[in-house]
Amino acid sequence: MPDDKLLELSLSEAARCVTDGEISPVELTDACLARIDAVDGTLCAYIDVYADAARQVAQAAETMIRAGHRLGPLHGIPLALKDNIGLAGLVTTAGSKVLADWRPTEDATVAQRLKGAGAIILGKTNMHEFAWGGTSANPHYGSVRNPWNPERFPAGSSGGSGAAVAARTCFGALGTDTGGSIRLPSAVNGIVGIRPTIGRVSNAGVVPLAWSMDTVGPMTRTVEDCALMLSVLAGYDRRDAGSADVVVQDYLADLRRGVDGLRIGVIPDYFFSHLQAPVYAAVTAALDTFTKLGARVMDVDVEGIHGNISAQLTIESCEPSTYHQRWLRERPQDYGDDVRLLLEAGELHLATHYLQAQRYRSRLRASFLDAFRTVDVFVCPTLPFTATKVGETLVEIVEGAPEDMLAAIMQFTGVPSLTGLPSLAVQCGFDGEGLPIGMQLIGRPFDEATLFRVGAAFQSATDFHVRAPDLPCTLAPPSTTWPSR
């Protein structure tokens, strides 16, 4: 099969083909590495690529398949990890100069689980420095660019993972999400990504941003792929004190069940009142699609939802500043300007600000749990605008009224982050310039299966997820010249 056809396979299709012996893990890996060579000079999506190691693992995976052995559902599938996820003996920078030489002594639990299921780790993806920002404009490793238009940003902080998946350089990637860092790049790059319920996936071995909100999750092109990856990642981990000992659902079982009779809640007063017009049109069209599929869409009022942005900014300031306290005093010059400013700002809040914000989270969560008595899932935009130009720090949602990027970009994704609820980002349209638009599905605690069911129903009725960016290829140095770490 030619490389371009191989790379158009979904993760699930590729996994089935590997299992059936129709394609080899070596073919898949070589196709991904060639694609990285062709496009990453433009995208800057990877910080490191393990070409030789990936080929060796692929060869071993092929030998195993020929002998009738399959490690798990990801056997022979090339994936990428955000560079704040530790791999034993390999530099894990978290997109920073501060950790430019840090080599963890063991794999993060999520990396162990992916490898245990047979995945091939291609490399580490670029990101916003220490995950503290939403643009992936990285002063140390270069600004990540959007495959749909390289002059536009990929959002963040997992911008490298989003761009890498959308550009078909890998079949899936891991991101991390504190205030929206999986869902924002998923929306802006036209892919799928889930922020699982807090505690559903282990954070052990992952460089933290804000302990009380951090989560790891998969980013893929289809909902089925996302469900497959989460089924490997989810589950209790004694290495992570925040891990939840809750039974893991079968995420694949209900993918084709449809949404007939499902109750979908919308909160017009908050999520639909301050949007760019194409985003509003795409998400309301998605709601129409759900209605045609048999779901019941109803307006819901969630008490106290206004005020969440301040709570996010306070918590996302104070917790990172606590983690970085020593480095900020000993080597402040090693941080990029934007992250240094945010870390300094986090030191200057009062303890009462932080604790009132944490109390607000309890209140908002209770309001959502009340609302889930009448609806099964909420649908809203992932963010209120489409991709801005690389390097922008302001965004115009309403023409002529520029807003601060950070507060604007996480005003919708922050709601699940604060409440700990699971949230799935699914592509749902394009604006007039061909830039992707995403919607966000929010579910009950530990009910990721319903989100996948709803997302899969939408993808079965639409074709946004099969469209590919027409990315101009600029030949980068061959992968063998990537810095050996």
Partner 1 sequence: MDEDDVRALARAAALPLDDDRIAALAALLGGWLPAANELSRAMSAREHRDVLPVTVFGQPPTDPTE
CA dihedral 53, 56, 62, 65 (to 10 degrees): -80
Size of the site for partner 1 (CB under 8 A): 32
**Spatial distance between the Cα atoms of 101 and 97, rounded to a whole number of angstroms:** 8
Choose the stretch contacting partner 1; rule: CB under 8 A; options: 12-20, 77-85, 272-280, 337-345: 337-345
Alpha carbon 98 to chain centroid, angstroms:
23
CA dihedral 467, 283, 137, 215 (to 10 degrees): -100
Active-site entry in 181, 243, 321, 417 = 181
61 versus 318: smaller Cβ distance to partner 1? 318
235 versus 258: smaller Cβ distance to partner 1? 235
Helix (H) or strand (E) holding 396: strand 394-398
102 versus 270: smaller Cβ distance to partner 1? 270
Residues 6+ apart with CB under 8 A from 358: 212, 315
Candidates 70, 349, 444, 467: give the one binding partner 1 (CB under 8 A). 349
Choose the stretch contacting partner 1; rule: CB under 8 A; options: 151-159, 170-178, 302-310, 447-455: 302-310
Token digits for 140?
């140390």
Q: Is 5 a catalytic residue?
A: no
Task: Choose among 142, 172, 136: nearest CA to 157.
Answer: 136
Active-site entry in 12, 24, 82, 423 = 82
x/- string (CB under 8 A) for partner 1, residues 418-447?
Answer: --x---------------------------
Q: Is 181 a catalytic residue?
A: yes
Residues 6+ apart with CB under 8 A from 263: 295, 296, 298, 374, 375, 376, 377
Candidates 348, 369, 398, 473: give the one binding partner 1 (CB under 8 A). 348
**Spatial distance between the Cα atoms of 215 and 442, rounded to a whole number of angstroms:** 15
- Least CB distance to partner 1 at residue 154 (A): 24
**Spatial distance between the Cα atoms of 418 and 198, rounded to a whole number of angstroms:** 10
Told to check if 367 binds partner 1 by CB under 8 A, we report: no
Residues 6+ apart with CB under 8 A from 237: 109, 202, 204, 243
Q: How far is CA 257 from CA 294, 453, 462, in A?
A: 12, 7, 16
Told to check if 344 binds partner 1 by CB under 8 A, we report: yes
Told to check if 355 binds partner 1 by CB under 8 A, we report: yes
Candidates 345, 394, 473, 475: give the one binding partner 1 (CB under 8 A). 345
Q: Is 157 a catalytic residue?
A: yes
Told to check if 358 binds partner 1 by CB under 8 A, we report: yes
CA dihedral 472, 33, 227, 181 (to 10 degrees): -60
Rule CB under 8 A: which of 187-216 touch partner 1?
Answer: 212
Told to check if 54 binds partner 1 by CB under 8 A, we report: no
Candidates 50, 130, 360, 452: give the one binding partner 1 (CB under 8 A). 360
Token digits for 6?
């191989």
Told to check if 328 binds partner 1 by CB under 8 A, we report: yes
Residue numbers of the site for partner 1 (CB under 8 A)?
212, 245, 307, 309-311, 313-314, 317, 328-329, 341, 344-345, 347-350, 352-353, 355-363, 365, 404, 420
Residues forming the active site: 82, 157, 181
